[in-house]
Chains A and B, each alone.
Chain A
Amino acid sequence: MKRILTRLLAPLLLLGWLPAQAMITGELIMVRSDRAFPDAMRILQGAIKKQGYTLSNIQPVDEALAKSGYTTDNYRIVFFGKTEQMKLLTRTHPELIPYLPLKIAIYAEAGETLLVTSDPAVFMDLYPDRQLHKVFMQWHEDLISIMKNLQNPD
């Protein structure tokens, strides 16, 4: 009996473990939200703060383009980070500076809203430091959580 159960349960335990591996994504993390842009923007900002990050800037790409005569739908870039982590990383790993703070592009498309950011997990291929890998995976998981708020807002 024990042998049979062990044989049958092993694949199930494996299946139960596998969804955590789904966190390894492609190189971009993207979400299409059926929310209109202002609503999606509000949810995004709330989700970033809820995840423990500070919003540092919102770049209105659409407004800048409009001033130069180009018509475009809502398009913003949201910058965010954790102050102490930024301080530490810029000191210990200056090669990361061009990618800091973290950011998410958010733009409207026909009544829906799209959000996209690069997946920090891909940096693991570039930087061998294991301590950094922990940071990248934390960012990865945080970004997935933030994006999920746009799929299933509270």
Chain B
Amino acid sequence: MTKLAMFYLYIKPAVFLILLFSSLSCLADKGKVLYTEKCAICHGHEGSGGVGIPLGLEAFLEQTPDEYLRRTIRVGRPGRIMPPFYRLSDHDIDAIIGYIRSWKKTTVPQWDATPVKADARIGKQLFDKHCITCHGESGYGGKGTGKTFSRPRDLPITPPSLNNQGFLNSASDQMLKNIIIQGRKETPMPAASQFNLTDDDVDNLVSYIRSFQQTMVTGEQILSESSVLVYKSPYTFNETIENIKRAVIAKDYILIRDQALDHGFVPVKDESKTHTMVYFCNYDIIYNALAIDPRVGMFLPCRITVVEQNGEVQAMSINPKRLSQLFNNDELDVACDRMHDTYSSILKEATR
């Protein structure tokens, strides 16, 4: 046997296989790393579930095409905990999906893209009769669905919000149809047969759910708000601090303390005399904000910093409107808008 024949018979296929397996293993490892970093906190390790749905459920994997997962990761669920991962590359998303698929040996479904054309008005009647208890008025989802980062764990899954634009942009009509017909094993979602629904009924329901769709979601957020609120003060450094304290109390907040920005980093005698943080709080507001989403605590307590630099005094704070975009939670947006107004009002009052 010539050397060339040896190469083509043994060495080339062996090298190819080694490289192929290394490549697949590398992709799987990457999927695991990405899943652990970005998904496990909500969906649990190996998809056991948590705030997010248990992705490891066999029924879920059997009914969910890769395209649905791909779109869901990309666009998230606007106004809900699930964020859009628009910074991830397509390759990263495929690695995550590959890892999710590795948990169970299931067939990946391939639903065709044919839209269902039926009567949404009849669908609404059926929805109000059979689905509204779990999926809420107009498909809004049960109370708390996807809203709060902590939730009671008495159900294996929270009924999803069917009118969420991220969901509607991800799920095809044929996928919805299959879920309604089959139900979802190991969850409270029953099969259509339990309600004696016909094929036409199911089509009407799909049409009604599809009628909630209003927009195409791309996942790109508009991060237009400035990250900080800054006001120039005509007063001295100390006067500005006192003005802020007065304005805080007038707004029904409690002063916690004021301290140098470098407090805790340097000995007290060396602390900055030109950077002072005024901390304040309203426990009622904090408690309610934490109940909507406990993650918001990372911007607590409320704080305005007064800075004197180059003979100029400025008062500044974070911009809650900009930060609310981090949480993807429309209930929190309302609270953050209010907080933005409060910060702006205190800053204006103290520097006018």
Q: How far is it, in angstroms, between the C-alpha of A63 and the C-alpha of B72 when the chains are bound?
A: 39
Contact for B283 among A4, A16, A68, CB less than 8 A: A68
Check if A18 sits within 8 Å of B91, measured CB to CB.
Answer: yes
Please tell me if the beta carbons of B326 and A59 are within 8 angstroms of each other in the complex.
Answer: no
> A21 is contacted by which of B12, B89, B309 (Cβ under 8 Å)?
B89
| Contact A123–B227 (Cβ < 8 Å) | yes
Contact across chains for B298 and A117 when beta carbons are under 8 A apart: yes
Most buried by B among A12, A15, A79, A125: A15
* CB of B305 closer than 8 Å to a CB of A: yes
Q: Is A30 an interface residue (CB 8 A)?
A: yes
Q: Bound complex: CA of A71 vs CA of B237, how far in Å?
A: 38
Interface size on A, residues (CB 8 A): 64
Min Cβ gap B227→A in Å is: 5
In terms of DSSP, what is the predominant structure of the interface of chain A?
Answer: mixed
B274 vs chain A, min Cβ distance (A): 9
Minimum CB–CB distance from A147 to chain B (whole Å) comes to 9
The closest CB in chain A to the CB of B25 belongs to A15
Does B275 lie at the interface of the complex (its beta carbon under 8 Å from any beta carbon of A)?
yes
B282 nearest CB neighbor, chain A only: A68
* B298–A118 touching, CB < 8 Å: yes
Question: When the two chains form the complex, which single residue of B15, B30, B40, B318 contacts A15, counting CB atoms closer than 8 Å?
Answer: B30
Which of A18, A25, A103 sits near B298, CB closer than 8 Å?
A: A103
Enumerate chain B residues within 8 angstroms of A116, measured Cβ to Cβ.
295, 298
Q: How far is the CA of A114 from the CA of B33 in the complex (A)?
A: 18
Residue interface mask B263-293, A partner, CB < 8 A = 1? 1111000001001000001010011001000
Neighbouring B residues of A101 by C-beta, 8 Å: 264-265
Report yes or no: A32 in contact with B298, Cβ–Cβ below 8 A. no
Does A145 reach chain B (CB closer than 8 Å)? no
A55 with B307, Cβ < 8 A, contacts A30-B295, A107-B297 known: no
B265 near A77: Cβ-Cβ < 8 Å: no
CB distance from B253 to the nearest CB of A (A): 12
Q: Complex: how many Å from CA A132 to CA B118?
A: 56
B50 at the interface (CB under 8 A from A): yes
Does A94 contact B223, Cβ atoms closer than 8 Å?
Answer: no
Stretch in contact with the other chain, from B16-24, B103-111, B243-251: B16-24
Please tell me if the beta carbons of A86 and B83 are within 8 angstroms of each other in the complex: no
- Assess whether B265 is in contact with A56, with CB atoms less than 8 Å apart: yes
- A19–B323 CA distance with the chains assembled, in angstroms: 28
**Which residues of chain B are near A103, meaning CB under 8 Å?**
298
Known: A27-B83, A105-B297, A114-B295. 16 other contacts (CB 8 A): A1-B7, A4-B15, A8-B15, A15-B27, A22-B33, A27-B325, A54-B264, A70-B283, A75-B297, A83-B262, A86-B265, A98-B305, A99-B228, A105-B298, A116-B295, A118-B326
Q: Please list the residues of chain A having a beta carbon within 8 angstroms of any beta carbon in chain B.
A: 1, 4-5, 8-9, 11-12, 15-16, 18-19, 21-22, 24-28, 30-32, 54-57, 59, 61, 64-65, 68, 70, 72, 75, 77, 79, 81, 83, 86-87, 90-91, 94-95, 97-101, 103-105, 107, 109-110, 114, 116-118, 122-123, 125-126, 144, 151
Q: Pull 6 A–B residue pairs with CB atoms less than 8 Å apart, ordered by A.
A: A25-B87, A59-B300, A86-B262, A94-B307, A101-B265, A110-B153
